[in-house]
A and B are shown apart, each in its own frame.
Chain A
Amino acid sequence: MRDVELKMKERASELLKSGEVARVIGWKKGEFYHDPQPASFESVEELNAFVYNGFCGANLSKYLIQMSKKEGKTAIFLKPCDSYSFNQLVKEHRIVRENIHVIAIECQGKLDIEKIKAKGFDFVTEVEENGDEIAVASLYGNGAVQKDEVLLGKCETCKGKVHQVKDEEIILHEMQAGKKNRFEEVEKLEAMTEDERFAFWREQLQKCIRCNACRNVCPACSCLKCVFDNPASGIAAKANDDKFEEQLFHIIRAFHVSGRCTDCGECSRVCPQNIPLHLLNRKFIKDIDGLYGEYQAGETAEGKTPLTSYTEGDAEPNDVVNGEVR
């Protein structure tokens, strides 16, 4: 991964030096190896802090809503899964495509520091990525963990390593898709009784602190003003002021992004209470696949989504039970 980082930095430097782009969006060093933060670089000097490693899990595409409107071209590093969000944002006219230079980058799956800590390394001082093995140095002991066991949830079910859009690429090694079937967890929920499923979601959603991190990070949540922030909407709210909130906020949001959600998994990555929010979206994706034929949002930047197009063969709402046509 170090070679990829060097190549990316080199390319960013060229692009900035030549004036081809005004800024490059990537990641910069944090306080530790494991906390790089999204950043835009406007000069070669700023690139000193540039970093790309196993903890660059953030999907940067949503930043383009603001950045693509700035003066000059913006280059952005996109991982395969981020490229779906990019296309979807272009399709929804949220970002100005011609102002952007997409650099498709290699991704071997991103890591979850919380999972590493849960393995007993709760004072992490250093992390080293050696292929499938992650060496961790901590104040309470050193050791190694298997990469598969500490991947971000969204990477466990990685939907593929093919970029859906690119102007150029930096891919030095072969990439592998996730090992798990992404609908496995959804199927488990479907197999539950209604009461069990209700209990499951109650317990999960009761943890919600309404911080809106899921909404604000979501590339599909790009409304200029969210209905939940609009005092005139009658449903504006900041806290779980009654049962409605905790049970329905997330479901309403999932409905709103269905057909547009690319399953980038950012909602679950950022949730401070680790609520598996992506499962709501995946359930919708699975249902849409079943009802309207397989569809992957963000595969292209053109065309209509199943929920914004009509064909005579569409399933009638009344005939649909549990995601299947009766």
Chain B
Amino acid sequence: MFKIAKERLNELYSKIAETFGLFIPIKKGGEVNYHVWGEGKEVSLETLKTVKSPKNAFFPQSENLMKFKTEGKNLEIIDVRWDKTEKPFVMFGVKACDYKAIEVLDKVFLADPVDTYYQSRREATTIVTLACSRPEESCFCNAFGIDATAPQGDVTTWLDGENLYWQANTQKGEALTAAVKELLTEGGEEKVEAQKASTKAIMEKLPFASLDLSRFKPENLNELFEDPAWESMSEACLGCGTCTFVCPTCQCFDIRDFKTNEGVIRYRCWDSCMYSDFTLMAHGNSRTTQMQRFRQRFMHKLVYYPSQNDGLYSCVGCGRCVNKCPQKLNIVKVIKTLGGKNND
């Protein structure tokens, strides 16, 4: 294990930025989101929940897929995919829940046929995770078996009042460590162990520490789908996309064409199952009510996705929806209503 004094972190960022594009939580316009680091930027590693999750780095809110040029009757497709000769990335400060969320996204985008847009960014990225030391009341990653005190990743780091502690876990992580070695000194195991213990003690006091998910099983799919509680649970839903867009695992997208002076750009952008036009076809819509759309979102996270992916839930308990839903609806309320008998 290595460490670096907190006041020298800027040197660390600077060193990493020599070889990598460094994405790190930065405060901009009053809010903390992942941005490219640069000298003078206001880094905020302590921020527990960036508004947008790190998924934005691999699956951007909008990205160009290809271009089309037309000359007379001839159509030409121009590949605009990310060029691998560009600088690789480092995602710095990824929390345990958000790291787990990347695993959830991998199962979608890296499944056959591989999404090469996602894959190229994913492969070019070294992920430096940061253990949590100060969880808040909306956190419930432990309900999904995530250990916030020891996230995985290419490099795991811990931050206390004095130092950032650094441990490489993978080859990519070792390579990054080698690149910044001159700034690191050995030691810190005891401090890290102490922090893990104290954070775990806090985690036990999380109000959502013992959510019962036992009813969310593929065999209960139809029973859950038909549950009358969806009506009242979704009643106040505005049909906005806040929960889906701040969610680290929501991965639905739209593909659209955009006409420019230099031809047509086909791009994809985040889409939300909460939107009324999500399933709209020329001759009808399979989900016409907000209840159906609300149900789809939570059934997907808690039943459909696990059914397709060996029981892995596509919620990681980050609590962003708990904090951000304009009308205070969220997945915890759904879990408590439908999840099982042991939810008070």
Asked if A and B touch directly (CB within 8 angstroms), the answer is yes
Residues of A within 8 A of B (CB): 30-32, 35-40, 58, 63, 114, 117, 122-125, 139-140, 203-204, 206-207, 209-213, 215-217, 229, 231, 236-242, 266, 269-270, 272-275
List 19 additional A-B contacts (Cβ < 8 Å) besides A30-B333, A139-B137, A209-B51: A31-B333, A39-B236, A40-B235, A58-B327, A123-B135, A124-B137, A125-B137, A139-B202, A211-B246, A215-B240, A216-B240, A217-B240, A217-B326, A237-B256, A238-B271, A239-B269, A241-B258, A242-B258, A272-B324
A207–B31 contact, CB under 8 A?
yes
> Secondary structure of the A side of the interface?
loop
Task: Determine whether B205 belongs to the interface, using a CB cutoff of 8 Å to chain A.
Answer: yes
Q: Is B6 an interface residue (CB 8 A)?
A: no
Range of interface residues on B (Cβ < 8 Å): 35 or more
Which chain B residue shows the least CB distance to A225? B276
- Whether B275 pairs with A238 at a CB distance below 8 angstroms is yes
Q: Are A122 and B62 in contact (CB under 8 A)?
A: no
User: Which of these, A30, A206, A237, contacts B29 with CB under 8 Å?
Assistant: A206
| A-contact bits for B313-344, CB 8 A (1 contact / 0 none) | 00000000011101111001100100000000
A238's contact among B28, B254, B326, by CB below 8 Å, is which?
A: B254
Q: Interface majority SS on B: helix, strand, loop or mixed?
A: loop
- Docked CA distance A207–B232 (Å): 32
A69–chain B nearest beta-carbon distance, Å: 14
Q: How far, in whole Å, are A159 and B62 apart by their CA atoms in the complex? A: 39
Given A124-B137, A210-B241, are A239 and B29 also a contact pair (CB < 8 Å)?
no
Q: In the complex, A125 Cα to B205 Cα: how many Å?
A: 10
Of B29, B62, B245, most A-chain CB atoms within 10 Å: B29
> Is B241 in contact with A211, judged by CB distance below 8 angstroms?
yes
Residues of B within 8 A of A (CB): 28-31, 33, 48, 51-52, 61-62, 134-137, 202, 205, 207-208, 232, 235-236, 238-242, 244-246, 254, 256, 258, 267, 269-272, 275-277, 322-324, 326-329, 332-333, 336
Given contacts A207-B28, A209-B52, whether A270 and B242 have CB atoms under 8 Å apart is: yes
| Contact present for A32 and B207 (CB under 8 Å) | yes
> Chain A contacts of B272 at CB under 8 A?
211, 238
Do residues A241 and B62 form an inter-chain contact, with CB atoms below 8 A?
Answer: yes
Contact of B62 among A236, A240, A274 (CB under 8 A): A240
In the bound complex, residues from chain A placing their C-beta under 8 Å from that of B276 are 229
Across the interface, name the chain A residue whose C-beta is closest to B52: A209
A211 B256 Cβ-Cβ under 8 A? no
Report the bound CA distance from A231 to B232 in whole Å: 31
Cβ B245 vs Cβ A209 within 8 A: yes
* Contacting residue for A216 out of B239, B244, B269, CB 8 A: B239
